[in-house]
Structure 1
Amino acid sequence: MTVENASAPPSTRRPSAERAAALAIQHLLSRQDAQGWWKGDLECNVTSDAEDLLLRQFLDIQDKKTTHAAARYIRGQQREDATWATFHGGPGELSTTIEAYVALRLAGDAPDDPHMAGAAAWIRAHGGIAASRVFTRIWLALFGWWKWDDLPELPPEVIFLPKWFPLDIYHFACWARQIIVPLTIVSAKRPVRPAPFSLNELHTDPRLPNPSRRLAPVNSWDGFFQRLDKALHAYHKVAPRRLRKAAMSRAALWIIERLESDGCWGGIQPQATYSLIALRVLGYQLEHPVMRAGLASLDTFAVWREDGARMIEIAQSPVWDTSLAVCALADAGVNPDHPALVKATDWMLGKQILRRGDWAVRRPGLDPGGWAFEFHNNNNPDLDDTAEVILALRRVQHPDPVRVSAAIRRGVRWSLGMQSGNGAWGAFDVDNNSSLPGKLPFCDFAEVTDPPSADVTAHVVEMLANEGRSADPRTQRGIEWLLTEQEPSGAWFGRWGVNHVYGTGAVVPALIAAGLPAAHPAIRRAVTWLRSVQNDDGGWGEDPRSYLDEDWVGRGTSTASQTAWALLALLAADERESEAVERGIGWITLAQREDGTWDEPHFTGTSFPGDMSLSYHLYRQVFPLMALGRYLRAVQQGQSVCGTSDLPR
């Protein structure tokens, strides 16, 4: 998007900002569900859509309508060079392109169709199937397109490892262990469903589809784990039958215990997919209650578009979206007792998790009280959602303040108890930062641990400051950790949003809310960095490639959400009268459409840095409104806006 004339004089800026905020408020209120929540689509790359079709083929539950609609969506995401990318505007990616190609072949597209032949040629030119990631080759092995012997081994006996062992399942992040446990069963059973066609056209040499790989030096971690994998392959052939059966039974029980009330597993599509495959290969019939519930949940991830295409959400974000929507509306001046905010509060209160989950393995004595991201995920609440929900609850004047205060106390207590040893906070677990799980040959894609991050820690620190706990030693440790994590440029890394603009936009308001003055050197360095990466059009943008290539740090097409994040930091740092803020507000107001919305095709959310990006469709609505509201309040009050610490409690 190109926005011109964002440098209009400040005298004309406020009326434009007020109009933009009013339109955005009207639109956002109109999108609230009758139950009180907000949720935007959560867009990923087409691997979710491809794997959904592969799952249906494996389970023999495919139907023409679903297949046709999914294929329509996958085709619509193909790039001009016949590849598929992992984010809007990104380069072609091998494994994503392979999975999309295979899914379209299952849907009936012929290999000599121009769009298919072009994709196959590109795949071969980039190493073919043999160069794809392990998870892609696992999917292909399910149909005999790849040999199980040529995949890393992951024995189900890992379920018996004690919790202190460096590679037990609780040393993996919650999202990883809920995929790894099912895949240990699949790895042990090695199922193969007859493939309806060959994939010779995706091999660089069909006569040698599984080329051997050279071993790394024995004195390196890669070399050690490669040789361990060879030993595990040998063990697969001689594993005691009784022990293996017991391990698979324990793993199956572990999976079933984590089935949510809506039939899904943690509200995450890949976890549901792999759990269904594991149970099926163990002999669970499709009519089994667990299987029926899991299969029914698959459709909840589907978004049917007006053109007849069907997109799969990798997860759903109602708790996160609702808390952000409440904060944005409150920041923009909506009355704290507005019926929409009260209804949203009631819904959020009902989503507080009051039972122990996997997090209790490391914190067995801690009482529950967190919130999760999804509609149903009682096992894995997270610190990010918990912090934002509490910030949102404090913005609302609810008719039952005692109930609200009790929920907040539980959430604060749980958050403090989930602090890691270094003083910071991870998303789901405590001290989940071992480097060993990621070195397994099995783990060549995405993050498999959950170490503390600057953005999550910032949100928790901001929440604690808002609760009057800035002087608490635990909050102070979080502040100290954030200060040490600032990069030489002045920015902070963004783990769950793209990227340094997101991290800096989270940390600066948190530090100011916690009592750091705007003149603090860390704040000034952050302000200087944000000014230096502002685009000529007045907005901010950062491409997901910044996770892998430093040349992209702070660089990218201006987007509504990223411009808002930069503005939130600058406004907190008392930069309301600066040229950077005026130009940023100008970009926000000029980029808004007549219906009060913003367009944002770019991906500004992050699932796994460098591997999987996300597009939260509500980000483009809530964050610009939040920035406009704080800007207008700053101009009206003639003072800095420091996030939330100045709101009445």
Structure 2
Amino acid sequence: MVQSEKFPSALINSVETPSFTDLSRWRLKVEHGAQTWHYLQSDEELKQWPQTRWDKYFLGVPFDSQKLPHPKTPLESARNGFEFYKELQTEDGHWAGEYGGPMFLIPGLIITYYITGTPVPESMRVEIIRYLLNRANKDDGGWGIHIEGISTVFGTALNYVVLRILGLAADHPAMIKARAKLHQLGGATAIPAWGKFWLSAMSCYEWEGLNPVPPELWALPQMLPLCPGNWWVHTRMVYLPMGYIYARRLNPEPTDFILQLREELYTEPYDGIHWDSQRNNISEADLFLPHTKIMDFLNGALTYYEMIPAKMNYLRQYALDLTIEQIRMEDENTFFLDIGPVNKALNWLVVFYHYGKDSREFREHVKRNADFMWMGPEGMMMNGTNGSQLWDTTFIAQACSEARLVEHPAYQPSMLKILEFLEDCQIKRNVPDYKKCYRHVSKGAWPFSTRDQGYTVSDCTAEGLKGTIALQKLKGMPKLISQERLRDAVDVLLTMQNADGGFASYECIRGPKWLEWLNPAEVFGDIMTEYSYPECTTAVLTGLSAFKAIHPDYRRAEIERVSGRALQYIKRTQREDGSWFGSWAICFTYAAMFSLGSLASIGEYYENSDHARRGCEFLISKQKEDGGWGETYKSCETGVYVQHEKSQVVNTAFAILALLDAKYPHQEPLRRAVKLIMDRQQENGEWLQESIEGVFNKNCMISYPNYKFSFTIWALGRYATVWGDKQIRN
């Protein structure tokens, strides 16, 4: 029987675009790194909580910014950059910012709001609408997997559903245009696996059209490679709650609204679709990594397994009990933030079905949703984690150190606030039963975002260590982080080296590479197990080196042995053309910055090292006519350097830092690159946003807007140190 629709915003069904919020009423609250946006309703609230400079900057609201003296030298430009950037430092010491880009994050959250019957706050509702309308591709009205990508079924179908849930009618002009693009792509039957799951969870797709997601894998002992505890942590944390919902076939009773969506999303009548044949139907626009034949065979076998009656399948109930326990530990250990936004929404949905809306667990999930939402000039997006707080903040600490800005008396208060944040953010404990929930040790580590989120990350720990050491060396700076806690960080890093000598992201490689044959996602690459990365390896190597310089006797032999193996990994992964492939930002320039830094740490430079020389020559071969460097995200997708039509200040800064580390002997290419960065700087010291900077899993881009400050200041400072702070421009 069809139910009447009760979800408030789905009943709006408007062909008119709603009025958006008053940007002057938005405020960013920060507390121990947590970032939450609040919309003030009353004039009294506005008086009590005035808008800050960083509020206005992030919202794109004009504010008075000082016109600074025209910089002629690199250090003058670096100082101007920090003069502007320090005004954006939040009161708890970190630099906030969006961490958006992926276009599949909001749908999981809003679909879960809908299924659980949790009303979307009005200010959030209209600003998500604004964001999605602004981010629709102008030519066809669809959405891609990320903000710069072509329209796909994954992005278009899911964001279409979001806008319908939030109140736009099927006859709204944006919906008409998006629906036409979706149908041109073949309709929602061709959506990739994660999209099939979310539509099934909302009763807009049938479970028979989804490849199995068996929770029984969680019952396997970890000695077996197929045990999810051996998978890459983000992958296992997504498929954990997916398996629970899939196994129980949980979705709402159809409403008249859901029936409308069933008509709108497909190119043929819903009841006439042969769902079983849709399991491997993936649009060419979406498909990045096709299934292997082994994967298709296993999916076929598991489909027969799913036919066993549930009441006879005692293994399934045992697996579901294990699943609930793993979800409970993930929620509690991260204070209901979870490792990222995808499993955050999924865990919230499981909590709804398992514990109910009146449970503490449900309320805690609702409370932490705000940590992921970011308000910007285009509307409200969902961040790729609860932020990039630690990561961005420790980079500017190191940049200021190299640019000698840390010594400037006027900047001492800012440096102290950074150190206070680094101290607060360091993880002080191992999570309870960390081995049971397949977590790595965390006491002494730094996370990517906040201590609450609490996941150990190798390069974040190393960069946090380096930032702390750089600041605590300053005269008059308190030693907020003790020698014992610095040793804790080193102890963590020394547990994370892989057999190949490199370092991965969250934990050591646990599974064999052939697990990638079983990648079910279709739209991402290298997601099934951890991998060593030049970026992570260099961060650890240079972090250990910085520690050894101030505490030379602590675990010295181990540090030297680990460092030696790490350097061999860096050399071994260099390509024949001299390049290294970057996995966490775009792309070859980013990896070169780290890899040449590794070589420099042991005295290998352009003049005495074939590896360093070839790395430099590769970079120089990619320099553009204007003196800068620019890569598009296609470098990440294709594995081949793809020139951007325009130089990017971030890629240019990466290349400058790499070449200077390697002691590249020719000044002119570097001078031209520095001049480009200086020429792009605005009169108030800022650099404007250019193309997207980051990437994960080869096919999805993500924003790091703070890079245009930290790495430019860093590059300017290093150039001045190496070549002198001489006049670059008139």
User: TM-score, normalized by length of structure 2?
Assistant: 0.79
Residue 34 of structure 2 is matched in structure 1 by: none
Residue 260 of structure 1: CA displacement?
4.8
Match of 1:303, SS state, is: strand
- Which residue, 390, 407, 414 being the options, matches 1:340? 414
Match of 1:145, SS state, is: coil
For the 8 Å contact 1:567–1:627, the answer to whether it is kept is: yes
- Which residue, 576, 600, 608 being the options, matches 1:512? 600
Task: Report whether the alignment pairs 1:527 with 2:616.
Answer: yes
Residue 433 of structure 1: CA displacement?
4.6
Task: Report whether the alignment pairs 1:222 with 2:280.
Answer: no
Residue 570 of structure 1 is matched in structure 2 by: 659
Tell me which amino acid in the other structure corresponds to 2:263: N
- Which residue, 454, 466, 491 being the options, matches 2:534? 454
Residue 166 of structure 1 is matched in structure 2 by: 225
Residue 71 of structure 1: CA displacement?
1.0
Distance 1:140 1:76, change over 3 A: same
Residue 464 of structure 1 is matched in structure 2 by: 544
Task: Report whether the alignment pairs 1:133 with 2:192.
Answer: yes
Please say which of residues 467-476 and 71-80 is displaced more in the overlay: 467-476
Residue 50 of structure 2 is matched in structure 1 by: none
- Which residue, 92, 99, 108 being the options, matches 1:51? 108
* Runs of at least 5 residues in structure 1 that lack an aligned partner in the other structure: 1-12, 639-649
Pairs within 5 Å for 1:207-356: 207-208=272-273, 210=275, 212=277, 220-235=293-308, 237-238=309-310, 240=312, 242-260=314-332, 263-266=335-338, 268-282=340-354, 284-305=355-376, 309-315=379-385, 316-335=387-406, 338-356=412-430
Residue 266 of structure 1: CA displacement?
3.3
Per-residue deviation, residues 280-312 of structure 1 (Å, max 9, x unmatched): 122x122211111111100121122356x2221
Task: Report whether the alignment pairs 1:205 with 2:268.
Answer: yes
Residue 621 of structure 1: CA displacement?
1.0
Residue 618 of structure 1 is matched in structure 2 by: 706
Residue 627 of structure 1: CA displacement?
0.5
Per-residue deviation, residues 378-432 of structure 1 (Å, max 9, x unmatched): 6521101011111111211364548443222211121011101111100011124
Please say which of residues 371-380 and 528-537 is displaced more in the overlay: 371-380
Once residues 624 and 336 of structure 2 are traced to their aligned partners in structure 1, the CA distance between those partners, rounded to angstroms, is 42
Once residues 119 and 202 of structure 2 are traced to their aligned partners in structure 1, the CA distance between those partners, rounded to angstroms, is 15
* Runs of at least 5 residues in structure 2 that lack an aligned partner in the other structure: 1-69, 282-289, 549-555
Please say which of residues 150-159 and 136-145 is displaced more in the overlay: 150-159
- Which residue, 407, 413, 416 being the options, matches 2:491? 413
Residue 335 of structure 1: CA displacement?
2.8
Residue 30 of structure 2 is matched in structure 1 by: none
- Which residue, 118, 128, 131 being the options, matches 1:61? 118
Pairs within 5 Å for 1:19-98: 19-63=76-120, 64-80=122-138, 81-98=140-157
Distance 1:458 1:66, change over 3 A: same
Residue 139 of structure 1: CA displacement?
0.9
Residue 577 of structure 1: CA displacement?
4.5
- Which residue, 72, 76, 88 being the options, matches 1:15? 72
Once residues 402 and 38 of structure 1 are traced to their aligned partners in structure 2, the CA distance between those partners, rounded to angstroms, is 19
- Which residue, 386, 389, 394 being the options, matches 2:469? 394
For the 8 Å contact 1:260–1:378, the answer to whether it is kept is: no
Once residues 618 and 403 of structure 1 are traced to their aligned partners in structure 2, the CA distance between those partners, rounded to angstroms, is 25
For the 8 Å contact 2:415–2:471, the answer to whether it is kept is: yes
Distance 1:467 1:368, change over 3 A: same
Once residues 62 and 420 of structure 1 are traced to their aligned partners in structure 2, the CA distance between those partners, rounded to angstroms, is 46
Distance 1:310 1:269, change over 3 A: same
Distance 1:590 1:18, change over 3 A: same
Residue 314 of structure 1: CA displacement?
2.1
Distance 1:576 1:397, change over 3 A: farther
Distance 1:403 1:299, change over 3 A: closer
For the 8 Å contact 2:212–2:299, the answer to whether it is kept is: no
Once residues 513 and 74 of structure 2 are traced to their aligned partners in structure 1, the CA distance between those partners, rounded to angstroms, is 47
Tell me which amino acid in the other structure corresponds to 1:483: K
Match of 1:606, SS state, is: strand
Residue 39 of structure 2 is matched in structure 1 by: none
For the 8 Å contact 2:578–2:615, the answer to whether it is kept is: yes
For the 8 Å contact 2:209–2:278, the answer to whether it is kept is: no
Tell me which amino acid in the other structure corresponds to 1:200: E
Tell me which amino acid in the other structure corresponds to 2:235: A
Residue 177 of structure 2 is matched in structure 1 by: 118
Once residues 241 and 228 of structure 1 are traced to their aligned partners in structure 2, the CA distance between those partners, rounded to angstroms, is 16
Please say which of residues 24-33 and 496-505 is displaced more in the overlay: 24-33
Residue 588 of structure 1: CA displacement?
0.4
User: TM-score, normalized by length of structure 1?
Assistant: 0.89
Tell me which amino acid in the other structure corresponds to 1:385: C
Please say which of residues 351-360 and 414-423 is displaced more in the overlay: 351-360
Pairs within 5 Å for 1:350-369: 350-357=424-431, 368-369=443-444
Once residues 356 and 240 of structure 1 are traced to their aligned partners in structure 2, the CA distance between those partners, rounded to angstroms, is 39
Residue 25 of structure 2 is matched in structure 1 by: none
Once residues 414 and 327 of structure 1 are traced to their aligned partners in structure 2, the CA distance between those partners, rounded to angstroms, is 21
For the 8 Å contact 2:605–2:613, the answer to whether it is kept is: no
Tell me which amino acid in the other structure corresponds to 1:347: F
For the 8 Å contact 1:49–1:74, the answer to whether it is kept is: no
For the 8 Å contact 1:353–1:369, the answer to whether it is kept is: yes
How many matched pairs? 622
Distance 1:533 1:94, change over 3 A: farther
Tell me which amino acid in the other structure corresponds to 2:546: N
Once residues 34 and 576 of structure 1 are traced to their aligned partners in structure 2, the CA distance between those partners, rounded to angstroms, is 42
Residue 506 of structure 1: CA displacement?
1.3
Residue 43 of structure 2 is matched in structure 1 by: none
Match of 1:198, SS state, is: helix
For the 8 Å contact 2:142–2:181, the answer to whether it is kept is: yes
Residue 236 of structure 2 is matched in structure 1 by: 177
Distance 1:576 1:56, change over 3 A: farther
Distance 1:451 1:377, change over 3 A: farther
Once residues 126 and 190 of structure 1 are traced to their aligned partners in structure 2, the CA distance between those partners, rounded to angstroms, is 28
Residue 134 of structure 1: CA displacement?
0.7
Pairs within 5 Å for 1:419-498: 419-440=497-518, 442-446=520-524, 447-468=527-548, 472-498=560-586
For the 8 Å contact 1:559–1:600, the answer to whether it is kept is: no
